Structure 1
Amino acid sequence: MSEPRRAYRTDLTDAQWELIKPVLTAWRNERTAAGLKIRPPKHTLREIVNTILYVNRTGVQWDLLPHDLPPATSVFYYYSLWIKDGTTKRIHDLLRAEVRSRAGRAREPTAAVMDSQSVKSSFSAGSETVGTDGGKKVKGRKRHIIADTMGLLLAVIVTAANIHDRHGGQVLLDDVHDAHPTVVKTWADGAYGGLRSRGVCLDIKLEITTKGLATCGFTPLTQRWKSERTFGWLSRSRRLAQDVEATTHSSEAQIYWTMTGLMLRRATGTSAITTYRTGTQTGIPTSI
């Protein structure tokens, strides 16, 4: 058996791994029970997640991964498969409920905040998924998010930047209504004003908040500012500094993985910085 590699600061701690291990273990057992002819895995699922988090935080290209991590072909196989079968979203949603519970909140929210962010895209993005946001003068893609009042994501969709907030917002409201029926109120800015009737149909009160014509300069609004906090968290991921994904589905997955990393640290009371400095991770386990 080879010596365990030296841990990166993005690696999962034992406590963090225990939170998501049941989901991934069940996923592997389900595939095995389905009779799929799967060769004995060469790399552990924990190492696969470690590598995805490394790519997400550092922004490194898949084919430029360090040699002591699993090869890009293997990791990208799992990464793509988990997008298609919903495992990425399932892990994210499990952690959001856990974080809310540990914060003394109900596992499901009753209120949410909706907003969008336009970012530049790279040459790898398909031309049909890229547009120009005339208001913000950004050519690229737009991230439409809806988050609870703690700033934790409920849903996200990525579109071309020229897609109006109203169209993205309608999809978000529909998604939240189906997946989180407890949500009864949402805050948003003036761009979503045309969705009030849609909110009524879904039994979601849409409150449009503005700073008012008499107010000058920067003025953070109590509820809406929480979505900006979420965008601030996303900006810590170098993979999200610019949209470098070939597809919008991959862009959405990178957003979910950024929030997954944040919630893992919050749920276990650890951070990448303190873990790295104290050297509590001495090796990588060989099971699962």
Structure 2
Amino acid sequence: DAQSIKTSANVPTAGQGIDAGKKIAGRKRHIGVDTLGLLLAVWVTAASVSDNTGGIHLLSSIASANPHVTKAWADTGYRTKAIDHGARVGIDVEVVQRAPGVKGFKVIPRRWVVERTFGWLMHHRRLVRDYETHPRRSEAIIHVAMIDLISRRLTRESTPNWRDT
């Protein structure tokens, strides 16, 4: 999945874009997670980059780093190009769609896992807005946030967040 996020004033305009669907000027975080919601791949781009392009890049990264991954669930933003690329790298991409006729908010099976991961990332104050001047630094901060999350769970330490301060 992908998340569009606003950027701070110190981010160069060359690294930003406009996500027309969400009406956000900034960057887009494309992430791939496993069934537990743990990060497999991340790619930070301008918000104007399409979900298909991000999906193709993520599928390539996941296939090369995790050859045991054979199935991926995606939202409706990932159309034929990402599905075809997934088949080329050996990953079956299934688009999970909303049930027809459902109005308002409804949890979509398998899709909530990646949305929950975005929620975990939002507990890290530095990720609420993109402050980094280079997209690679943003990716590194996301990795650090996931390392922090995993290490706190392994040590059974309570997780402080910016909302509790």
Normalised-by-shorter TM-score class: over 0.9
> Which residue number corresponds to residue 231 of structure 1?
118
- Aligned mates of 1:258, 1:127 — CA distance in 2: 25
Q: Cα offset for 1:252?
A: 0.5
TM-score between both structures, scaled by the size of structure 1: 0.54
Q: Cα offset for 1:215?
A: 1.4
- Aligned mates of 1:168, 1:128 — CA distance in 2: 18
- The percent identity for this pair of structures is 44
Aligned equivalent of 2:35, options 133, 141, 149: 149
Instruction: Name the one with the larger strand percent.
Output: 2
- Aligned mates of 2:27, 2:53 — CA distance in 1: 14
> Which residue number corresponds to residue 163 of structure 2?
none
- Aligned mates of 2:20, 2:155 — CA distance in 1: 42
Task: Look up the SS of the partner of 1:146 in the other structure.
Answer: strand
Report the aligned-residue RMSD: 0.9
Q: Cα offset for 1:213?
A: 3.0
| Bigger relative contact order, structure 1 or 2 (CA pairs below 8 A, ≥6 apart) | 1
Task: Look up the SS of the partner of 1:145 in the other structure.
Answer: strand
> Which residue number corresponds to residue 108 of structure 2?
221
Q: Deviations over 1:7-29 (max 9, x none)?
A: xxxxxxxxxxxxxxxxxxxxxxx
- Misfit runs of 4+, over 2 Å: none
- Aligned mates of 2:70, 2:141 — CA distance in 1: 28
TM-score between both structures, scaled by the size of structure 2: 0.93
Alignment of 1:1-288 (within 5 A): 115-194=1-80, 195-273=82-160
- Is there any run of 5+ residues in structure 1 with no aligned partner, and where? 1-114, 274-288
- Is there any run of 5+ residues in structure 2 with no aligned partner, and where? 161-165
One-letter code aligned to 1:147:
V
Q: How many residues are matched? A: 159
Which has the higher Rg, Structure 1 or Structure 2?
1
Task: Look up the SS of the partner of 2:77 in the other structure.
Answer: helix
